[in-house]
Amino acid sequence: MATVDEPTRRDIEAFVYLEARLADESRYDEWEALVTDDMHYWVPFGPGDYEPGTRVSYINDNRARLGTRIRQLATGVHHAQDPPSSMRRVVSNIEILSAGGEEFEVGSNFVLYEHAVQATGHLRLWAGRTTHRLRRTADGLRMAGKKVELVNSTSPLPNLPFII
């Protein structure tokens, strides 16, 4: 666990909440503006304790593939998010796991309720732990990594076409 000054802690927490709200509201242009050029977005199968690419993951996006994901969401004909899911997530247990130079590793837990309106109308529940890698830049904090370890990732999952 790292100790940071209070203004830094407040900035980090505000960033995590903003990132969650933009994802909830499918505001992908604004969400994408939060990421760095070396962003890695990863949803592993099981605990994220393996090197991505050595075994198959749900999502293992470098910056280019993340760009494709967001472009697909913006086409207006991505049936899996047409219309977009109605979502709200609760983010808690925010801890600054490490702080070195201009980078911070931040852990948090989340519970996400998704109304899958595209076909079934089911209320889907997602839960897990997020590890953000945040970097202080001239434009403020930006996200260089987001790892989402779902509590039930070893069981079959329904569609996950949105940013979790």
Interface with another protein by CB under 8 A: which residues?
A: 43, 45, 53-60, 65, 68-69, 71-72, 75-80, 118-120, 122, 154-161
Q: Least distance (Å) from another protein to the CB of residue 89?
A: 16
Nearer to another protein, 20 or 96 (CB): 20
Q: Are strands 122-137 and 86-100 parallel, antiparallel or unpaired?
A: unpaired
Nearer to another protein, 2 or 161 (CB): 161
Q: Least distance (Å) from another protein to the CB of residue 67?
A: 9
Q: Least distance (Å) from another protein to the CB of residue 69?
A: 7
Distance, in Å, from the CA atom of 113 to the CA atom of 89, rounded to the nearest integer, reads: 6
Query: Tokens representing 80?
Result: 């899996």
Nearer to another protein, 2 or 116 (CB): 116
Distance, in Å, from the CA atom of 42 to the CA atom of 105, rounded to the nearest integer, reads: 15
CB 59, CB 40: distance < 8 Å:
no
Q: Least distance (Å) from another protein to the CB of residue 46?
A: 8
Distance, in Å, from the CA atom of 2 to the CA atom of 84, rounded to the nearest integer, reads: 37
